[in-house]
Amino acid sequence: MAVTPIAYRYNGRPRWVWLVLVTMLLVLLCVLLATLHSVTAVAPLVDVGYAKYQGKQNNAITQWLGIRYAAKPLGKLRFAAPQDPAKMADTQPALQHGPACLSTSTSIESGTSEDCLFLDVHAPSKAKAGDKLPVYLFIQGGGFNANANANINGSGLIRASGMNVIVVNFNYRVGIWGFLASKEIAANGSINNGLKDQRKVMEWVQRHISQFGGDPNHVTLGGVSAGAGSVALHLTAYGGRNDNLFHATAAESQAFPPLRTVAESQYMYDNLVGRAGCNSTTARSKDTLACLRGMDTAALQNVNTKDPFPSRTRAPIWPYGPVLDNDMVRDYTYSAFDKGAFLKLPAVYGDVTNEGTFFAPKEAKTVDEMNRFVMDQFSRMSPNQVNQLAKLYPKAEQFPDTAAYWRSTANMFGELRYNCPGIYTSSAYARHNVTSSWNYHWDVLTEANAKSGYGVTHVSESPSIFADDKTANAIQGYWQSFIRSYDPNAHRNSDTPEWESWGKSGYERIHFQANGSTMETVPASQKQRCAYVSSIGLSLRQ
């Protein structure tokens, strides 16, 4: 019988047996370590306390779409502040976007619903609870009368950051559903519910974003158009009170709409009550607010038409909007920034070259028609003011299939609502000694828009910020850097120039063009126009 030499035995067993056992243990250890890593990374199933949401992974990014952040705003919660969502026992699929909120329209458009208070979370799949990744909380636009940028995909911005940020976007109530105001609603409901929906999402982020790997103490609040205007209103909310809900801001094509008081908004409520038949002599209509709340969504939407402002003949583009309620919104936006009643946080503001071309009527043939359109949008504008504006915006370049004063009207309206408010706000930061403030001018012109006259259109910078390209473009590189560090330069693309701050002397901004980016000083002609526009901003109730 063969005998195994003593050198090949250990504790009575052949050496090869021990080698097999050690190999098996190493394999098991590797599996265990991999398992431990996988359970520490954020799983697609996340528990937010009131519900468990099952997301989906795609190309190293996990998305949770259609998370309910507030209770259904129906019945008694119509025209009321958002409430916490009810608890849900079953796991909720978070695989598709929630419906957008109803717009100012007489129909219920596809993909919209009164039950619309949903948000999306986009995160790197490698993120772990406790990672404390910077968060970008984005407010879509739509003139406070629509959800115009619903279903933003944050994946491109996440990839541009090197998988180092989390993006949250959401829907909020607009039009009558979010901004109807009257003495009845003030007494038995809530004013500015669209803004309060936004605030509710900020609170949701503070409570829950750490479960997704985000840092509730590193939140950049961003927005586009009315969303950027909302950013300004949150900076000035409650007199500039700091509730530590966000820590920096980034505003694209910021809108400064005229603000009305509750009393000045009463006619809109009364007209809606009349169209809805809630002012009849029936017992049900003794309480007009209860009548409106009791109506079927489709029936109320069917009478959701636009009214002209008092003393005006044509309805404005956006009839509803934030209201001066002496609580959340205590002052006009121009006034609040002038007084310094805003949060002094790192900030980006900016605009595009031709903010007004989408909105101005192409049939504006004369100065009078231009003036009437602008006065229809700003009910407090006086004849003297509009005549002075007409001198600053003379007949402009002509384009096919448009009337003589289309571009002049677009230039005037664009600077009134978008360009000049951004320039003024950046200057206010400098006056109040906020040095971490940057401004941009997006001037990337396509050949088709150059020929048509539309130019560099409203919010055209936003697709580049969220682009899902393999190589981040210039503005996306600056944007993700700002989200990560509150500085657009710290992690910018290596082939882009330093984006200098607005500066103590002011009026320094980065100029984005198709062939590159450079710093520029706001042209003297625009400074002159905006000086007048900003000087009348308070009288226009902006």
42-84 pLDDT, tens digit per residue, is 679 999 999 999 999 999 999 999 999 999 999 999 999 999 9
Model confidence at 525: pLDDT above 80:
yes
What mean pLDDT value characterizes the chain? 93
Q: How far lies 376's CA from each of 174, 308, 312, 313, 413, in Å?
A: 20, 7, 6, 7, 11
Q: Is the predicted pLDDT of residue 21 greater than 80, yes or no?
A: no
Tell me the mean pLDDT in the region 161-190: 98
Q: Are 354 and 455 in contact (CB under 8 A)?
A: yes
Residues 139 and 195 in one domain: yes
Q: Is residue 523 part of a domain?
A: yes
Phi, psi of 332 (to 5 degrees): -70, 150
Mean pLDDT of 405-411: 98
Q: What is the CATH number of the domain that holds 461?
A: 3.40.50.1820
Tell whether 59 and 10 lie within a shared domain: no
Q: What pLDDT, on a 0 to 100 scale, did the predictor assign at position 505?
A: 72
Co-location of 32 and 82 in the same domain: no
> In sequence order, which residues have a C-beta less than 8 Å from that of residue 142 and are 6 or more positions away?
103, 148, 149, 174, 225, 226, 227
Please tell me whether residues 131 and 245 are part of one structural domain: yes
Query: What is the tens place of the pLDDT at every residue in 433-486?
Result: 999 999 999 999 999 999 999 999 999 999 999 998 755 689 999 999 999 999
More confident: 169 or 27: 169
Confidence of residue 330 (pLDDT cuts 50, 70, 90): very high
> Would you please indicate which residues are annotated as catalytic (active-site) residues?
225
pLDDT of residue 406: 98
Residue that has been written with the tokens 């219920």 in this structure: 108
Look up the domain containing 132 and give its range.
41-261
pLDDT exceeds 60 at position 419: yes
Predicted local confidence at residue 41, as pLDDT: 63
Please report which helix (H) or strand (E) contains residue 330, including its range: none
Cβ-contact 173, 72 below 8 angstroms: no
pLDDT at site 22: 44
pLDDT beyond 60 at 130: yes
User: Domain check: are 33 and 157 in the same one?
Assistant: no
User: Both 16 and 137 in a single domain?
Assistant: no
| Cβ atoms of residues 394 and 408 within 8 Å | yes
Q: 315 pLDDT exceeds 50? A: yes
Q: Is residue 367 part of a domain?
A: yes
With a cut of 50, say whether residue 355 has pLDDT above it: yes
One domain for residues 88 and 125 = yes
Residues 6+ apart with CB under 8 A from 326: none
- Whether 66 is in a domain gets the answer yes
**pTM exceeds cut of 0.85:** yes
Compute the distance between CA of residue 164 and CA of residue 124 in angstroms, rounded to an integer: 7
Task: Judge whether residue 166 has pLDDT over 50.
Answer: yes
Q: Is residue 327 part of a domain?
A: no
Most distant CA pair in the chain, distance: 118
* pLDDT in the model for residue 331: 98
Cα–Cα distance for residue pair 137/160, rounded to 1 Å: 16
* 114 shares a domain with 67: yes
* Residue 109: pLDDT over 90: yes
384 and 503 both lie in a single domain: yes
Judged against a pLDDT cut of 70, whether residue 237 lies above it is answered with: yes
Inside any domain, residue 287: no
Distance CA 498, CA 249 (A): 19
Residue 258: its pLDDT value, please?
98
Q: What distance in Å separates the CA atoms of residue 438 and residue 436, rounded to the nearest whole number?
A: 7
Domain termination residue (choose one: 240, 261, 282): 261
Res 14 pLDDT > 90: no
Six token digits for residue 482:
């700002």
Q: Is residue 137 part of a domain?
A: yes
Burial class of residue 258, CB neighbours in 10 A (0-12, 13-18, 19+): buried
Whole-number Å distance between alpha carbons of 27 and 33: 10
Answer yes or no: is 280 within a domain: no
Q: What is the pLDDT of residue 17?
A: 43
Tell me, yes or no, whether 295 lies in a domain. no
372 pLDDT more than 60: yes
Secondary structure of residue 34 in the 3-state scheme: helix
Mean pLDDT of 28-51: 64
User: Do 82 and 25 have their domain in common?
Assistant: no
For residues 26 and 53, state if they share a domain.
no
User: If residue 108 lies in a helix (H) or strand (E), which one and from where to where?
Assistant: none
Looking at residue 43, what is its pLDDT? 78
pLDDT band (50, 70, 90) for residue 10: very low
In this structure, are 29 and 126 located in the same domain? no
Q: Please determine, for residue 12, whether its predicted confidence score (pLDDT) is greater than 80.
A: no
Structural domain count of the chain: 3
Residue % of the chain over a pLDDT of 70: 91
Chosen domain end from 205, 239, 261: 261
What is the Cα–Cα distance from 74 to 113, expressed in whole angstroms? 11
Is 154's pLDDT higher than 70?
yes
pLDDT in tens, 269-298: 999 999 999 987 664 557 999 999 999 999
Of 225, 242, 261, the residue at which a domain comes to its end is 261
Rounded Cα distance between 495 and 493, Å, is: 6
